[in-house]
Chain A
Amino acid sequence: MEQAAFYAFAALTLGAGVFILLTRNLMYAAFALFLALLGVAALFVLAGADFLAVAQLMVYVGGILVLLIFGIMLTRIPDPEATSQTPNRVLVTLGRGFWGGAVAMALFLVLFLVIVQANFALVGDTLNSRSTIRTLGVELMTSHLLPFEIAGILLLVALVGAAYLAMNRNPDPTE
C-alpha cells in the first residue's frame, strides 16, 4: 500500500516535471509546478515528515506559486488579438534544448551512479510513527535558536527589500 502510494506520487512529481520541461505555455508550467509540489509534499509524508509536508503546502503552494503566477501575469507581452474568450497562453521560447537535455541527462547519470555505488551504511533507528512536530519545535527553540531568528530577520529583510525594489521610482511623466 505504502509502496504503491510512493510510486504513484513519485510518478506524479516526475511527470509534472517533464511536462514543465516540455510545455511552451508558462501558465501551464506554473500549474504543473503545483502538481509537482503536491507530489513532493506527499513524498515528505511517506518519509515521515508530517510537519514539513504541511509547511511545504503552505509556503510553496500558498505563497511561492501564487507569487510566480502573479509574476507571469504581470510580465507577459499582451496579445492584441486576445479576447476574454481565448484561453490563457503565455508562450515562452525554448532555447538551448540540446545542451540543456544533455547536461541534465549527464548529471542524472552521474548522480545515479554515485547513489548506486555509495551503498550507505545507515546505523541507528529509523523514524517511528509518532509525529515529528514536538521534536522539531524543541530543536528549533533550543539548539537551533540562532538560525531560527536569523531566518526570521532574513524574511523581514527580503520582504522590505522586495517592496522597495518593486516600487516604481520613475513615474511616467505623461501620467
Chain B
Amino acid sequence: MNSAIPLFHFLVVAAALFSLGLAVAVTKRNVIGILIGLELMLNAVNLNLIAFSRHDPVLLRGQLFALFVIVVAAAEVTAALAIVLRVYHHYGSIDPDEVGELAEKGE
C-alpha cells in the first residue's frame, strides 16, 4: 500500500462522520435512530484507528483495537435492541422523550 492518500484526509473524513453521527444521535427522537447515530460514530473512530495503523506495519495495534471495537459494537447493539423491545412492550413507544417515568415531576 503506497501512502498516496495522506493521513490528513482520513482524519477529516472521520471527524465529519463522527459529527454527523453525533447530530443524528441528538436529533432523532427514536431509540433506534440514536443507535444508528452511535454506529456512525463508532465507524468514524475505527477509521481513525486504521488510518493511524498504516504507520505501524509490524504490530498493527490500531487494526487490532478496531477489531475489538467492532466486537464490542456488536455486543452493544444486541443488548440495546433487547432493551428497546422491552421498553416498547412496556410503554408502547420508543421515543426517549416519552419514556420519562423517572423524570422530575412538574415538567
Are A151 and B71 in contact (CB-based, < 8 A)?
Answer: yes
Give the A-B contact count at a CB cut-off of 8 A. 248
Bound CA–CA A140/B61 (angstroms): 10
Q: Within the complex, which residue of A21, A48, A139 is in contact with B54, where a contact is CB–CB below 8 Å? A: A48
CB contacts (< 8 Å) of A74 on chain B: these are 85, 88
A-B interface, 10 closest residue pairs, ranked by CB to CB distance from nearest: A100-B26, A158-B75, A104-B23, A17-B20, A165-B82, A108-B19, A48-B1, A111-B15, A100-B27, A162-B82
Q: Known: A94-B28, A135-B60, A158-B79. Contact between A64 and B86, CB under 8 A?
A: no
24 residue pairs of the A-B complex, CB under 8 angstroms, read: A2-B4, A10-B13, A20-B36, A21-B24, A26-B30, A26-B32, A40-B47, A44-B46, A47-B1, A49-B50, A59-B73, A67-B77, A71-B85, A94-B27, A103-B23, A107-B19, A108-B19, A124-B56, A126-B54, A135-B59, A151-B68, A155-B71, A158-B76, A161-B82
Interface of A is mostly: helix
Residue of B with least CB distance to A161: B79
Interface, chain B (partner A; CB < 8 A): 1-5, 7-13, 15-24, 26-30, 32-33, 35-37, 39-40, 43, 46-47, 50-51, 53-61, 63-64, 66-68, 70-79, 81-86, 88-89, 93-95, 97
Chain A residue with Cβ nearest B16: A14
Q: Provided the pairs A40-B46, A95-B29, A104-B22 are in contact, do residues A128 and B36 lie with their beta carbons within 8 angstroms?
A: no
Tell me which of A21, A63, A96 has the highest count of chain B C-beta atoms within 10 A of its own C-beta.
A21
- Flag if A20 contacts B15 (CB, 8 Å): no
For chain A, the count of residues having a C-beta within 8 Å of the partner chain is: 86
How far apart sit A23 and B28, CA to CA, in the bound complex (Å)? 10
B75 CB, min distance to chain A CBs, angstroms: 4
Q: B63 to chain A: which residues have CB within 8 Å?
A: 49, 51-52, 132, 136
CB neighbours (8 Å) of B51 from chain A are 47
Q: Hey, which chain B residues are within 8 Å of A154, CB to CB?
A: 71-72, 75
